[in-house]
Structure 1
């Protein structure tokens, strides 16, 4: 008889919903090790605008995959999957339960399903694409992508240069679109999964926390952005801006809030415009996270404003045999 799979917990939800607070409550009563699932918390020196847990919290409740990259570096979903699986295996070996907390849904998807192997970056191709974008505009590149990979073009906005260049780079380097690479990987995974039982190597309880009333989440987002400004968010971005190796095209600086404050410091926005656009961008992020979660399977929802989330979460964990 096969050994039972070890337990793991996913704690998901939109930004500003209270995921960290509930994760800490769970960690106080369960033998958990926390693993961050957040594409902004990976960066050192980006603390205020990412709502990173403070030093005292991290000292008491260490989180894997926080502060692992410099803002000048890129970090892919494939790298996350490798790092997260390693952190989960280490926690399991210590007899602990991996508790993954964060809102980067692509990371969760990569962890559960894997990712198609894509060709490596090609500096010459990227330079050619960037030069064309400067000469003709990003819409011209998006039009090209729509011709060679309509599915990716439907997902990628013309004003998302990082993903747009990557999608075209993949096609030019390999002769296959991103969509074709993913379809081939899915077919291979189906065959391999059937041979291996088709299982992710953990019994996972998937929890999502959010206010039942969406307008309350919008209020929380606005209040949190204002608090970030009071805590020194502008100074934090100014310190990044003083570095010669950082610029607005990097994934770190494109993070929600950072790009808006950067534009303010560049003189492109007034302070009021910066705050308004930062809040709007954060709301849009929350909307995208909700969209992901609406199509997610086996999710147990918790109201982040309820006072009984801990016992409800423990009941959900027991229902899927996380707790014995």
Structure 2
């Protein structure tokens, strides 16, 4: 089957606060034959609404998204599992004569979906235990620096607090003797069988994006982020080692509730972490090919994206 005969699928990608959700919802609400699939490692968690900037219940009623609220915050959801779930949804959506629109900011999920699952070494319990012992002695910042010496490309896109992925990258480097970024650059076993339109929402002025990020974080605090984390801690047996509580905003709120930081420091750390997340998302995008880059700061962004998508579908 040639590329032109493949069914269409659309990616809407970009950093946090770039307007991805509004753009995707506009496609659906304007009557286009699309269904939305969330590509967000925070939105998969139930009850994590404020800190994840999850679409409201009213918005989801108007524009349903697949892969939102699918697991408890105590559970783990991998990129490999996302790929399996997304492929099944895309096949079902296509079979019903609609176009899957995948929208979000978890670039690892997009990359895994498009490139397939690479042949990486399987987990090694003994090595992981050694990594944990080293981390307990030296701290995860030092482990992140160790990874940077072995695999600077992977280290650049991982937050020093992302202990799970730092651990995995160190494990892969140690077991294979090859940087994980090098292994991921090799052809995967399975390529996504769709004709893709990959839209990247990129800011023409990074300072304006940072202003949006600051406003969004202030709105989260005013909207009850601390109360949400209190509720989560009361409802679920959580710890800061879980992927859910490593999400930006939740870790900082947890530290504030435990009295480790004051409100000013919590806000500063939350903003810094969110800006770092946006920087990593943009780094991922720069490494992707065949992108249609769109300035996310322009007026009438959702309508302009709709016009572009409509034109692409008709060709």
Give the TM-score, by structure 1 length: 0.85
Asked if 1 retains the 8 angstrom alpha-carbon contact of 2:36 and 2:64, the reply is yes
1:301-320 matched pairs, under 5 angstroms: 301-320=293-312
Q: Cα 1:116–1:274, aligned 2, differ >3 Å: closer, same or farther?
A: same
Tell me, yes or no, if structure 1 residue 282 matches structure 2 residue 274: yes
In 1: Cα distance, 2:303 partner to 2:150 partner: 51
Residue in 2 that maps onto 1:100:
102
Offset at 1:298? 2.3
Residue in 1 that maps onto 2:241:
249
Between 234-243 and 73-82, the greater mean CA deviation after superposition: 234-243
Gaps of 5+ in 1: 194-198
Tell me, yes or no, if structure 1 residue 234 matches structure 2 residue 226: yes
Offset at 1:38? 0.6
- Encode CA deviations 1:104-132: one digit per residue, 9 max, x unaligned: 11111111111224455455543443233
Aligned partner of 1:42 among 22, 41, 44? 44
Higher relative contact order (CA 8 A, sep 6+): 2
SS in 2 for 1:106: helix
Aligned partner of 1:293 among 285, 290, 295? 285
Asked if 2 retains the 8 angstrom alpha-carbon contact of 1:36 and 1:64, the reply is yes
Asked which structure has the greater CA Rg, the reply is 1
Tell me, yes or no, if structure 1 residue 263 matches structure 2 residue 252: no
Q: Cα 1:89–1:130, aligned 2, differ >3 Å: closer, same or farther?
A: same
Residue in 2 that maps onto 1:196:
none
Give the TM-score, by structure 2 length: 0.87
In 2: Cα distance, 1:212 partner to 1:183 partner: 32
Offset at 1:261? 0.6
Residue in 1 that maps onto 2:210:
218
Tell me, yes or no, if structure 1 residue 26 matches structure 2 residue 27: yes
SS in 1 for 2:246: coil
Asked if 1 retains the 8 angstrom alpha-carbon contact of 2:6 and 2:194, the reply is yes
In 1: Cα distance, 2:134 partner to 2:250 partner: 27
Offset at 1:133? 2.2
Q: Cα 1:104–1:185, aligned 2, differ >3 Å: closer, same or farther?
A: closer
Asked if 1 retains the 8 angstrom alpha-carbon contact of 2:11 and 2:196, the reply is yes
